[in-house]
């Protein structure tokens, strides 16, 4: 928590997935630079260990190219070009593996902690960082204090390791005297490898602790108040009151459209008072389809419109209940209801025929 920053006592709720994604887009992730440093240092040591023989060979060739010509010897353009090529090749073969190893492992170390994600937000200029007050706040924040503590720990670790190493290897250092140049170099490299390995062990402990702190710090930073969660829900899902009104308007529009279909219906099947289902069937249709249905007040309205437009109303409780429950608006009736609906339609067509015959 930054100095002068407001209390976060109310931030008791875990971050939502949306908030986590927003932090990630801004480049605010649990990334431990100490872990990256440890992995890079380990890579450098490993590459140097396995390429040491080849590096010595290239270095000897490089030295040989410098002393190839005796003192005062004239160098032709071809000789100078050959020397340049030799220097470039040797330098690339000695430094190239280390450079490639560092780049690859640094990328993998970042990806292992935060995954593969590209964002340019951290590179966007933030002019508030130039404000000295903001700089003081960052220095006095818990994160700034932890960074200072880590620096002290690293310095203390290196100092302690050097002291312990010097005390424990004092006899080995005495063996350097009287050794051949090649043997001295081998012994120095062995001591250096031991020293680096000892430092690496302590550095790994610091890196692990730092990664845990970064995770904890990010989780604490992302915590939300209940009000923030409600505001986020409104922002993403919409205000519940407005959504309820929209749903009401949509239902009214759908109901109005449905009622417009009732006068065009062939028959209305009821149960008789609570449910009403309007069917339409025309020549060429594969099956009758439900054009309107409803219960309670809507059922009353369907019956009322049917009477006003001389649409036959047939009471059939089981059929009305089945169609109301199982058939969606605008869908045709299923095959298992063909017989029952056919009987209703036959009755309706017979009724219409009688009316026409009687001149009604």
Which of 51-65, 86-100, 304-318 shows the lowest mean pLDDT across its residues?
A: 51-65
Tokens describing residue 233: 């829900």
Task: Report the predicted TM-score, pTM, of the whole model to 2 decimal places.
Answer: 0.48
Tokens linked to 33: 């630079």
Residue ending a domain, choose from 167, 201, 222 = 222
* pLDDT tens, residue by residue, 180-219: 555 666 677 777 878 888 888 888 888 888 888 888 888 8
pLDDT tens-digit map of 72-90:
556 667 767 777 777 777 7
pLDDT at 3: 34
How many Cβ atoms from other residues are within 10 Å of residue 83's Cβ? 16
Query: What CATH number does the domain containing 323 carry?
Result: 3.40.1690.10
Domain count across the chain: 2
Alpha helices in the chain (DSSP H): 17-25, 33-66, 77-114, 132-140, 142-168, 170-174, 181-222, 226-237, 240-261, 297-308, 317-326, 338-358
Give the model's confidence band at 140: pLDDT under 50 very low, under 70 low, under 90 confident, else very high. low
Helix (H) or strand (E) holding 295: strand 289-295
Distance CA 358, CA 58 (A): 116
Residue 248: inside a domain: no
End-to-end CA distance of the chain: 87
In a domain, 238, yes or no: no
Domain carrying residue 207:
17-222
The verdict on 338 and 274 lying in the same domain is: yes
Show which of 222, 241, 274 is a domain's final residue: 222
* pLDDT over threshold 70, residue 71: no
Q: Are 53 and 121 contained in the same domain?
A: yes
> Of residues 92 and 142, which shows the higher confidence score?
92
Residue found under tokens 């604490």: 220
What does the alpha-carbon distance between residue 91 and residue 61 come to, in Å, rounded to a whole number? 11
Whether residues 164 and 272 fall in one domain:
no
Same domain? 155 vs 266: no
User: What pLDDT was estimated at residue 279?
Assistant: 94
Of 159, 194, 222, which marks where a domain is finished?
Answer: 222
pLDDT at residue 293 greater than cutoff 80: yes
């Amino acid at each position: 928590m930054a100095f002068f920053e407001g209390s976060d006592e109310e931030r008791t709720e875990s971050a939502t997935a949306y908030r986590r994604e927003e932090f990630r887009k801004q480049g605010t992730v649990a990334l431990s630079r100490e872990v990256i440093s440890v992995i890079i240092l380990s890579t450098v040591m490993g590459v140097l260990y396995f390429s040491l023989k080849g590096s010595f060979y290239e270095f000897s060739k490089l030295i040989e190219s410098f002393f190839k010509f005796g003192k005062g010897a004239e160098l032709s353009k071809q000789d100078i070009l050959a020397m340049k090529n030799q220097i470039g090749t040797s330098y690339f073969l000695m430094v190239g593996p280390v450079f490639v190893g560092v780049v690859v492992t640094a990328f993998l170390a970042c990806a292992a902690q935060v995954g593969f994600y590209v964002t340019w937000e951290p590179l966007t200029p933030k002019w508030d960082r130039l404000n000295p007050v903001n700089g003081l706040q960052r220095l006095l924040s818990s994160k700034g204090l932890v960074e200072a503590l880590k620096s002290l720990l690293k310095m203390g670790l290196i100092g302690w390791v050097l002291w312990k190493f010097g005390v424990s290897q004092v006899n080995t250092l005495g063996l350097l005297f009287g050794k051949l140049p090649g043997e001295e170099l081998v012994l120095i490299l062995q001591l250096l490898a031991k020293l680096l390995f000892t430092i690496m062990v302590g550095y790994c402990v610091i890196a692990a602790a730092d990664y845990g702190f970064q995770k904890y710090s990010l989780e604490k930073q992302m915590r939300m108040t209940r009000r923030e969660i409600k505001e986020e829900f409104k922002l993403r899902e919409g205000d519940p009151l407005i959504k309820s009104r929209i749903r009401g308007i949509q239902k009214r529009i759908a109901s109005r459209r449905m009622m417009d279909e009732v006068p065009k219906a062939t028959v209305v099947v009821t149960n008789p008072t609570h449910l009403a289902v309007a069917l339409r069937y025309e020549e060429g249709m594969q099956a009758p389809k439900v054009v309107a249905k409803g219960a309670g007040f809507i059922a009353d309205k369907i019956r009322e419109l049917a009477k006003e437009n001389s649409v036959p109303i047939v009471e059939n409780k089981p059929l009305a209940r089945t169609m109301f429950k199982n058939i969606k608006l605008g869908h045709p009736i299923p095959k298992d209801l063909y017989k029952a609906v056919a009987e209703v339609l036959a009755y309706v067509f017979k009724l219409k025929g009688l009316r026409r015959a009687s001149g009604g």
